[in-house]
Chains A and B, each alone.
Chain A
Amino acid sequence: MAEENEIIIKLESLTKRYGYGDAASYALKDFDLTVKRGEFIMIMGPSGCGKTTLLNIIGLLDAPTSGVYLLNNEPASRISARRQARLRSKKIGFIFQNFNLIPDLPIIENVALPLVYSGYHKTRRLIRASEVLDRFNLKEKEYYMPFQLSGGQQQRAAIARAIVSGPEIILADEPTGNLDSHSSSLVMEELKRIHSEGNTIIMVTHNPTLTKYATRVINMLDGAIDTDIKTVKDSDLPVPVASRKKKPQKSLKKQKKSKNKKKKGKK
């Protein structure tokens, strides 16, 4: 058996509380989760169950009220604000439901934005952004403004922005929520490709048909995990492109039989 990918994210009884006393409400309650490199996790669950809160905490945009978040074995609470920002620009890529492109900047500068904060020269930023846009078949649109693009194109540009600095973790909050089914499948193909290159993706969705792309599906309810199903063995997760030379390439065939229920299964 091949050695397994390392643990990239570990959450231990993570809690996010809003308000105090009688008015206290929990967006996350004693949430435990272990994510290995190369996983493609889809998180589902009713509105208000804490999915966005979870992604914000994993993405270092928000801090838990209590509990431990280990990012690459390092407690996030001990990472300075400055280094958290640098990690967001280099190691974490965000994709949002409403794209969140800056309307005043052309597409290429939007895509290059994370590179601004990881210390690239302007020309290198634009060259890199242009390469990535090329991959997403948006090269001829690079100097368009966001409003000149369709929703699907904007979301692909936003995905380009999320991966431009080669992050380890992609966090996508309902990335297809505002898209028609054709654009949705284009976006999902992009995510699938990014995943096959060894990236870790955590994606929130309401669309059950998209779970076929995932290696693991988590259902949340009231700030906690309801069901957690792995559809791909840990040993079959893709490895990062950079380290492939060391390891033999794994087949990406999905091992649907190895369902692995954690916590109480509702079915």
Chain B
Amino acid sequence: MSLLLKTHYELAKSSLRQNRTRSFLTCLGIGIGVASIILILSLMGSISSLISSQVSQMGSDLIVVRPSSTRSTVDSVVNELTSSTQYLKSNLTLKDVSLIEKLNNVSSVAPLAVSVNSLQGDDFVPSATIVGTNANFLKIQNLTLKSGTFLREDAKTNTAVIGAGLANDLYGTDEPIGKSLTLLGSRFIIVGVLSKVDDPINFNNLDLDSSLFVSAKVLNQIDNSLQIQQINVRATNTDGIEDTVNLIRETLIASKAGDTNFSVLYGEEITHPAGTLFSIISGTLAIVAGVSLIVGGIGVMNIMLVSVSERTHEIGVRKAVGASFSNIFLQFLFEALILTLTGGFFGLALAYVLAFLISLVTPFAPYISWEILAVSFLTSFADGLIFGLYPAIKAAKKNPISSLKFWG
């Protein structure tokens, strides 16, 4: 059997070599399809490894509480990320923060109450991200200050810490300590500036660099529509973290009289919903790329049909000297498979060249995994099989006598 396969492989190879240009163009079609799928998978892999590296950077002792317990459906993810109504839906409160603080194995807790408002400093910024939190935020986020101090629980006045980017917009300088600003009619004094942070994707879904940080308690007094979107918790001990997660969940359910409309996450789960969204986007793109693979496959079928009809006489001769149905069938199927597998191989190479170029201008490094290699092999193999089938059957079914008369 293996001898027969080898023979068919040789036959197919030699006939492809006779039509170099045509074979090359057909390969190119498949290559582009495979390349786009691989590129998307590579980007997707790169993004999700970026996200999880950020989580691991945040440490394995991090627990996050978010409103809304549904996490698995596409709808909920899209809702969470796109609709502002989630701000209104949140059932987390500052009381929850103090409840969690008292629990066993909890080292520090910081709420995250995000809203968008206009700010008046030296200049006017019509919409800035305002983060209501507490003194623990800096430590929990592993952030550092460029200058000044962070928010303090015992502050006598309204204080604020500012991201370097926003400082430039409001004051034209990244050293605005002591300057004041007006938020919702209240005056705040800048006491600290965050060091520049360069991670566009993080588990808070926040651009910290262009945010203003104030005390959640203070913010709650001046903005009564304020909602807490997230509570970040650091555990003292990583080992018992699952118990801690359960403890937080039970405590909150008890305090909310059975309302379970929130989720307590740790580890990989935290990358959600960003990770899930990227999966959805990538999946959609992969389907689009799949269409190009189908187009490539139709190209293969077209070329194979041309080849079959051009070689009708050859098929007649081969049958006359002993080729069976399956001999001819396999010869042409192998041709299609060689075309698509070669195309797939070049597509893979092309994808990584592109992925490398993309990595030069974005934070997304080329991402290679066995799954991706398997996908590129399997898609090109399936392409050859599906679109080579009909031409191969057509060739194998040809009547030897009339085929021999074909230009014979």
Q: Which residues of A contact B (CB under 8 A)?
A: 56, 59, 61-62, 81-82, 85-90, 94, 96, 98, 100-102, 104-105, 113-114, 116-119, 121-122, 161, 165
Give which listed residue, B313, B322, B325, B400, contacts A90 with CB less than 8 A: B322
Chain B interface, DSSP helix/strand/loop, else mixed: helix
Cβ B325 vs Cβ A102 within 8 A: no
List which B307-360 residues lie within 8 A (CB) of chain A.
Answer: 313-314, 316-327
Cβ B321 vs Cβ A121 within 8 A: no
Cβ A117 vs Cβ B323 within 8 A: yes
CB-CB < 8 A to B401: which residues of A? 56, 61-62
CB-CB < 8 A to A61: which residues of B? 319-320, 400-401
Q: Given A56-B401, A98-B408, A100-B404, is A119 in contact with B321 using a C-beta cutoff of 8 Å?
A: no
- The 4 nearest A-B residue pairs measured at CB: A89-B322, A85-B324, A117-B322, A88-B322
Q: Given A56-B401, A82-B324, A104-B18, is A113 in contact with B7 using a C-beta cutoff of 8 Å?
A: no
Give chain B nearest CB distance to A87 CB in angstroms: 8
CA distance A146 to B9 in the complex (A): 23
- B268 within 8 Å of A by Cβ? no
CA distance A161 to B317 in the complex (A): 11
Give which listed residue, B14, B18, B327, contacts A117 with CB less than 8 A: B327
Give chain A nearest CB distance to B16 CB in angstroms: 11
Q: Which residues of B contact A (CB under 8 A)?
A: 3-4, 6-7, 10-11, 14-15, 18, 313-314, 316-327, 400-401, 404, 408
Give chain B nearest CB distance to A228 CB in angstroms: 26
Cβ A100 vs Cβ B326 within 8 A: no
Cβ A81 vs Cβ B325 within 8 A: yes
Cβ B322 vs Cβ A86 within 8 A: yes
Give which listed residue, A62, A104, A122, A161, contacts B321 with CB less than 8 A: A161
CA distance A32 to B319 in the complex (A): 27
Chosen A-B contacts, 17 in total, with CB atoms closer than 8 Å, are A61-B319, A81-B325, A85-B322, A85-B324, A86-B324, A87-B322, A88-B320, A89-B322, A90-B322, A94-B321, A96-B408, A100-B316, A104-B18, A113-B322, A114-B321, A116-B11, A117-B324
